[in-house]
Amino acid sequence: MSDNSIKIFTGNSHPELAKLVARRIGIDLAKAVVMKYSNQETSVTIGESVRDEDVFIIQSGCGEINDNLMELLVMINACKTASARRITAVIPCFPYARQDKKDKSRAPITAKLTANMLTVAGADHVITMDLHASQIQGFFNIPVDNLYCEPSMIKYIRTQIPNWTNAIIVSPDAGGAKRATAIADRLNLDFALIHKERKKANEVSRMVLVGDVRDKIAILVDDMADTCGTLGLAAKTLKENGAIQVYAIVAHGILSGKAIQVINDSVIEKLVVSNTIPHEDKMAICPKLDIIDISPTLAEAIRRTHNGESVSYLFSHVPE
């Protein structure tokens, strides 16, 4: 019986991350050509045999999300019909994760639809990072590994933020309180919370700080930064309440629309995001942007999944 090997494929959403992951594992990326036909349909050509191999497809939900999602589905399906032994979809930023409940009449639960589509296309396993709601794991009938950016964030705070022992962890909204308290506990720091107060409907809500940030370095922690409206306002509130400096650490930096302008104009000292989403073009125009590399975590997860070892180590440690 022959040993099967790891084959890593990537779509067009984040090829740099895939290269970093492959380099850490010590293999080359598997050959595949993913492009579009002239009528805009996606075309996938797999250039290596995947028969009885352990296939990992790295594709993030960013940029042209629908195109990247279709690329991922077609690649999974192609590997399935090419007799791969097991197909794992590695999705650092899970698409449509925010549409996970029916909050209005006739609202679709697109996250459930995405989970169904991945399963139907033929995925056997999903590895993702910092899901917006960890309950999304329950949308799948196949195993899902929800890795955490938290150890990397903690390492960044300890090594890159000067005088971090005088910091305070702040959550920019009530929903993220649990995430922020977990980090505050690990670092033995204080915790504060910003709460949007709505007096009446249609009245401009103001942000209320719960906790004391005077003469401290405030570190805002959140899972996603999209238009950055919330982050900008939160930073202003913190500065008004006496914080010395404001940092923001975010797992997925989507940064769409006017986000970069908002960050550049705001009082935020540095915005730190992970590289689940590509940022080369944004680094050029935003001097406040800093990147945490999470490819070691993904690479280690892939290696341990392939070898059948436990992944629990990654929930509290950053692989060196």
User: Of the listed pieces 96-104, 201-209, 267-275, 296-304, which binds other proteins according to CB under 8 A?
Assistant: 96-104
- 211-250 binders of other proteins (CB under 8 A): 226-227
> Which string of x and - marks every residue 40-79 that binds other proteins (by CB under 8 A)?
xxxxxxxxxx------------xxxxxx-xx--xxx-xx-
Size of the site for other proteins (CB under 8 A): 56
Sole binder of other proteins in the list 31, 155, 158, 206 (CB under 8 A): 31
Residue 228 or 238: the one with the smaller Cβ distance to other proteins is 228
Residue 107 or 283: the one with the smaller Cβ distance to other proteins is 107
Contact status: 283 vs other proteins (CB under 8 A): no
Sole binder of other proteins in the list 56, 94, 96, 191 (CB under 8 A): 96
Sole binder of other proteins in the list 7, 24, 112, 282 (CB under 8 A): 112
From the CB of 115, what's the least distance to other proteins, in Å? 10
User: Of the listed pieces 13-21, 32-40, 145-153, 160-168, which binds other proteins according to CB under 8 A?
Assistant: 32-40
Residue 110 or 146: the one with the smaller Cβ distance to other proteins is 110
From the CB of 235, what's the least distance to other proteins, in Å? 20
Q: What is the 3-state secondary structure (H, E, C) of the chain?
A: CCCCCEEEEECCCCHHHHHHHHHHHCCCCCCEEEEECCCCCEEEEECCCCCCCEEEEECCCCCCHHHHHHHHHHHHHHHHHCCCCEEEEEECCCCCCCCCCCCCCCCCCHHHHHHHHHHHHCCCEEEEECCCCHHHHHHCCCCEEEECCHHHHHHHHHHHCCCHHHEEEEECCHHHHHHHHHHHHHHCCEEEEEEEECCCCCCCCEEEEECCCCCCEEEEEEEEECCCHHHHHHHHHHHHCCCCEEEEEEEEECCCCCHHHHHHHCCCCEEEEECCCCCHHHHHHCCCEEEECCHHHHHHHHHHHHHCCCCHHHHCCCCC
Contact status: 1 vs other proteins (CB under 8 A): no
- 156-175 binders of other proteins (CB under 8 A): none
Indicate the helix (H) or strand (E) that contains 278: none
Contact status: 106 vs other proteins (CB under 8 A): yes
* Buried b or exposed e, range 30-50, using 16+ CB within 10 angstroms: bebebeeeeeeebebebeeeb
Sole binder of other proteins in the list 92, 95, 172, 176 (CB under 8 A): 95
- 119-158 binders of other proteins (CB under 8 A): 119-121
From the CB of 50, what's the least distance to other proteins, in Å? 8
Sole binder of other proteins in the list 205, 256, 261, 316 (CB under 8 A): 256
Q: How far apart are the C-alpha atoms of 216 and 203, rounded to whole Å?
A: 31
SS3 262: helix
Contact status: 184 vs other proteins (CB under 8 A): no
Place of tokens 């779509």: 11
Which residues of the shown chain bind other proteins in the complex (CB under 8 A)? 31-33, 35, 37-49, 62-67, 69-70, 73-75, 77-78, 81-82, 95-96, 98-99, 102, 104-110, 112-113, 116-117, 119-121, 226-227, 254, 256-257
